[in-house]
Amino acid sequence: MSSDKNSITNEQEWQMLGQALSNVLQTMSGLEAEIAFVQPADWPLNEIEFSGFMVMTRVRPSVLTISATRPAIMTILSYMTGEMPDELSEQELNDGVCELVNMVAGEVKSRLNDSERAYGLTSPIAAQGSSLRFSLKNGLETFDAFVTVDGLHLKMSLYML
Amino acid sequence: MILLTVEDSAIVRKIIRRTGEALDMEVLEAENGLQGYDMISACEGNIDVVLMDWNMPGMNGIELLKKLKADARYRHIPVMMVTTERHPAQIIEAVQAGAAHYMMKPFTIDELSKKILECLGRGDQNEFRQKLHHE
């Protein structure tokens, strides 16, 4: 990592977000995350159901999303709250995925505070559904991470607008 | 002992509730600063500790903290910020406004329990101010 905070690249910021996601999951739930930056062949993209979004506001804004399958978010939140997975409401599942994206974006925000890549954050937004797809204009960079936690699946994406 | 959590995330409220109840505390919940202030008023300030998020719709955490500390009826209540905000300037702002403690998300249940106890005078709260002083 460069010692010049102003020279942080998109890729380096993305690596920070990956580390932050691992840290948030480990700290809040005790679960270890395995992160792949290329989609594994058997990764069940169509089973993604809960998504949380935050806009990182700056000169060139970005959108950070964390999406999860139902079993993944239920398991993670169950570990976080100490409740049985089936005791969590739909509202709590949506709220939980938003809180994950909030903590990940918040952790990296503090590391970039004094750099030219400093950003503000909007409130998180939740979306529920299994066929959510983003389509960006040509030339805009997108980063994807495929996360496996206790055999369950999440996806984190960063869209550089 | 009564703990009030002022937090817009239902999941974080649930984690705080679980932690507070494990410490044998009664836990009250508010979703934003305005609701939190109303609950404190309704309890006539008989709350032992308030844990509050910084960013919430309506009245945010720092506004509620300042409002409580400006009010002689409520300024005795120890307040801990529980937030993703971690810029030193914000931590200093909260401490100067009267926060007894500052907890950054993510956190473990053990860390949360320890800091709640410190807010209640059942831990080494000086450790927090000493750390801040050194930083």
Q: For chain A, what are the domain ranges?
A: 9-36+69-134
B105 touches chain A (CB under 8 A): yes
Name the residue range of residue B92's domain. 2-130
Q: Please check whether residue B135 lies inside any domain of the structure.
A: no
Amino acid A34: pLDDT: 94
B86 touches chain A (CB under 8 A): yes
Least confident range of A5-9, A120-124, A157-161: A5-9
- Do β-strands A62-69 and A152-160 pair in parallel, antiparallel, or remain unpaired? antiparallel
B76: alpha, beta or left? (left if phi > 0; alpha if psi -120 to 50): alpha
Amino acid A133: pLDDT: 77
Amino acid A105: pLDDT: 96
ipTM of the complex as predicted: 0.89
Amino acid B116: pLDDT: 96
Amino acid A152: pLDDT: 94
Q: Rounded distance, CA A123 to CA B32, Å?
A: 13
Are A27 and B108 a contacting pair at CB < 8 A? yes
Dump pLDDT digits (tens) for A33-82.
999 998 888 888 889 999 999 999 999 899 999 999 999 999 999 999 99
- Do β-strands A125-128 and A48-57 pair in parallel, antiparallel, or remain unpaired? antiparallel
**Does the pLDDT of residue A2 top 80, yes or no?**
no
Q: Name the residue facing A81 among B14, B57, B84 (closest C-beta).
A: B14
Name residues of chain B where pLDDT drops below 70.
123-135
Q: Please check whether residue B43 lies inside any domain of the structure.
A: yes
Q: Please check whether residue B92 lies inside any domain of the structure.
A: yes
**What total of structural domains would you count in chain B?**
1
Amino acid A3: pLDDT: 46
Of B38, B78, B79, nearest in space to B58 by CA: B38
Of B70, B99, B71, B68, nearest in space to B85 by CA: B99
**Does the pLDDT of residue A128 top 80, yes or no?**
yes
Amino acid B130: pLDDT: 54
CB neighbours of residue A103 within 10 Å = 25
Q: At what angle do helices A90-112 and A10-29 cross, to 10 degrees?
A: 130
B66 to A105, B69, B76, B88, B120: CA distances (angstroms): 26, 5, 12, 18, 20
* Residues from chain B contacting residue A81 (CB–CB below 8 Å): 11, 14-15, 18
**Does the pLDDT of residue A131 top 90, yes or no?**
no
CATH of the domain at B58: 3.40.50.2300
Amino acid A6: pLDDT: 58
Element (H, E) at A28: helix A10-29
Q: Please check whether residue B41 lies inside any domain of the structure.
A: yes
Q: Please check whether residue B27 lies inside any domain of the structure.
A: yes
Q: Name the residue facing B9 among A95, A110, A121 (closest C-beta).
A: A95
